Every structure is written in structure tokens, then in C-alpha cells.
Amino acid sequence: MSQLRRVLPKYLFEPGTPGPVEDPPEPVAPVDDAPRLQMSLTDGRFVLRFDANPLDGALVEQAIREAKDALFTAGDPDATLADGLVECASRSLHQAAPASRREHYRVLVHLDADGNGWINKRGSLPSRLMKKLTCDGTLKPVWTQEAKPVSVGRSMRIVPERTRRLIEDRDGGCRFPGCTVTGFLENHHLFHWSEGGSTDMDTLISLCSRHHREHHQGEFTITGDPGTPTGLRFTNRHGLPIERDIPDEIPPPDHPPPEKQPTRGWIMDTTSINFRPTG
């Protein structure tokens, strides 16, 4: 039989005649390399878990790194990959078109007259998040009558676009001492809007998202007049002033001055200049 297996494949057989019998190939087990994403809310924190094949994972990683680099370029050297992920999500929602689709996926936070807030099916929000949200956001009031909703008002920004541009032009970037962020700025009420603070240039300053978040977390306080470059006072949680680290004396350069360069070309004689009429 072993000799026949070696010899018979060398002969041509007419169609329909039996040929050499081969063993059927082993079945290939299917591979599931689709990306998987899990989202949950645990102990008041949003938890996200994502795993994917190396190609899809590299795509997601580069998108997050690009957003992180954009924040760094805007002046936030402490931006993390998590900040980059949030920036990716913010870009996606802002670029959604048409407007009806963008409204469909808007994050809605419910407020009441007592200053409480909550997200649908997510429970109440801490006061620090509510104050940060009502510093700079978009409101769509729901009118009630006898504790029942009767109408929905027109969307409006807490800080109008014209006022926002004036504030950002005046501040030129984040007002936190030493912060160099000039893009992705948020407006902050020195007297919280939710507590009756007004929305005008005398009570608004520009903060980057990091320092805005840290302020509402209680890391530092802000007082003073934002209308002048040195009118604001920042103090940490212990009451100590936070000031920009500027040395009293600027150290001299540690390299020699440049050498004098020789004069190049011909020196122009300006003792007399004659103008010839053109006719």
C-alpha cells in the first residue's frame, strides 16, 4: 500500500476515475478578536475597561496620545492619557452632525432650585461637580407648574459667547500662577453662579480644565479683582499664597557673547543723493 501511494499520483486518470485519497484538513477554530468594552459606575466613579486586538488597540492608543499631545501643545504639561481620552470624547460630541444628532447625545444634568443635581439613572452628583458644571455650560430650563413639567425652554449658555471671548482675550490664558495653558479654556465664576453670582467680566476668569477641576475639589481658593494682571490672589488649602515662581535676580548667561561679525558688501555713500526725473 505504501508503494501504491507513491506511484499512483504520478499517473493521469480520466475524469471520473478515483484518484488518491487524502485526509480531510483539520477544522480551524474561529478566533474572536473583536474589541470589547465594559462601562460601569462603581462607588461614584465611572469605570471603563477596553481590550482589543493589537491593530485596533494601536489605533485607539494613537488617538488618545494625539489628544494628550494637543493638550500639551496648548500649554498643559501635566496632561495625562486619561485627559487625552476625555478630550477625544469631547471632540467627537462637538463634531457630531447634524445638530439634532448632537442634541440626542448631549449629556443632560438635572438641576433643582436647591442646588442639587443628578444624571438620569446615575444618581446625584457631588456639589463640587455641580459648581464646576454651572460655571460654564449650556442650560435648557424645564418649566414646571404644580410640580409637573409643562414646557421646555430654549437652550442658553451660562456664559454668552461674546462675554467668553472678551474674558479669554483679557486673560490671555489660564490665570493660575505659572500656568502656561492658552487653549481649551473654561470660564470660572469667582462667585458661583448656582449661588447667585453674576455673569460679567468683573466676576469671571479663565482657567484650564485641570486648575478649574482642582479649584472645585478644594485644592485652592481665588479672591480679588480679575480686571488687573495682579489683582487676583490664589491660596492653597492651608491658606498659604500661591505665587508665580520668579527669581529675584535673573542670573547672567553662562555662554560668551557672540563675536562681532565683519561688514559685508559695500558701504553706501549717503553724502549726496541725486534724483533724476523720469520725464
In a domain, 72, yes or no: yes
First to last CA, the chain: 114
Which domain does 70 fall in, by range? Answer: 37-93
pLDDT for 268 equals 63
Is 52 inside any structural domain?
yes
* Domain annotation covers residue 121: no
Tell me, what's the pLDDT at 240? 92
Specify the number of domains making up the chain.
1
pLDDT(19) > 60: no
Rounded to the nearest 5 degrees, what angle is found at the Cα of 97, between the Cα atoms of 91 and 98?
150
Q: Is residue 166 part of a domain?
A: no
Nine cell digits for residue 76: 498643559
Q: Higher-confidence residue: 44 or 19? A: 44
Contact 206, 167 (CB under 8 A): yes
CA distance linking residue 178 with residue 209, whole number of Å:
15
Q: Which tens digits make up the pLDDT trace of 181-221?
A: 888 888 888 887 767 777 788 889 999 988 998 998 889 99
In a domain, 53, yes or no: yes
Q: Is residue 49 part of a domain?
A: yes
Note whether residue 76 is domain-resident: yes
For 90-116, the pLDDT digits (tens) are: 888 888 888 778 777 777 777 776 767
In a domain, 163, yes or no: no
